[in-house]
Amino acid sequence: MLKTVQGLTLRKTEEADLDYVLHAEHSDENRSFLIPWSREQHVQSLVNPDIRHLIAQTETRVGYAILAGFRSPHGSIELRRLVITEKGRGYGKATVDLIKDLAFKTHGAHRLWLDVKDHNQRARGLYEAAGFVVEGTLRECLKTETGFESLIVMSILRAEYDK
């Protein structure tokens, strides 16, 4: 278990959490903002030493996050996925704060980065408020059921986090 922010903690995802994770990921309110994984992909990520699959929780689970790049020699950790199931309560902000602490304080990262679908204004606003800077756009790089979608690449550097 890691530090607590606003009553929220992050803990390692267990296989018993995967029904919750898959339900959250495939729900109508989240599915259009990410590329859902299969149960097997989540199971593999639980044992991959380069990945941290984490549950965000208070008394109950409120979301999950997946981070990657812990074995990178470049000190660059990717926030690969963040899904909050209890929206509008500040859990997204608190989870991002915990993730920044994990990346920079616990693992000594130089850079924390992510990509977000360009139409996901809520997430983009959250990341900008947390200090992430837009690096660029991967134009129409994802083919989905509705057509091509673009990704916005964002990051925060350790020096920005330390301010």
Q: What is the CATH number of the domain that holds 96?
A: 3.40.630.30
Q: Is residue 37 part of a domain?
A: yes
Q: Is residue 15 part of a domain?
A: yes
* 131 pLDDT higher than 90: yes
Structural domains counted in the chain: 1
Q: Which pLDDT does position 4 carry in this prediction? A: 64
Distances (CA, A) of 16 to 13, 19, 29, 39, 42: 8, 7, 23, 11, 12
Q: Is residue 130 part of a domain?
A: no
Q: Is residue 157 part of a domain?
A: no
Q: Which pLDDT does position 3 carry in this prediction? A: 60
Domain of residue 83 covers 9-115
Q: Is residue 125 part of a domain?
A: no
Is 103:109 a contact under the CB 8 Å cutoff? yes
Instruction: Bin 140: left if φ > 0, else alpha if -120 < ψ < 50, else beta.
Output: left
Mean pLDDT, range 113-137, rounded to an integer = 97
pLDDT digits (tens, 9 = 90+) for 7-29: 899 999 999 999 999 999 999 89
Q: Is residue 159 part of a domain?
A: no
Average pLDDT across the chain, whole number = 94
Q: Is residue 133 part of a domain?
A: no
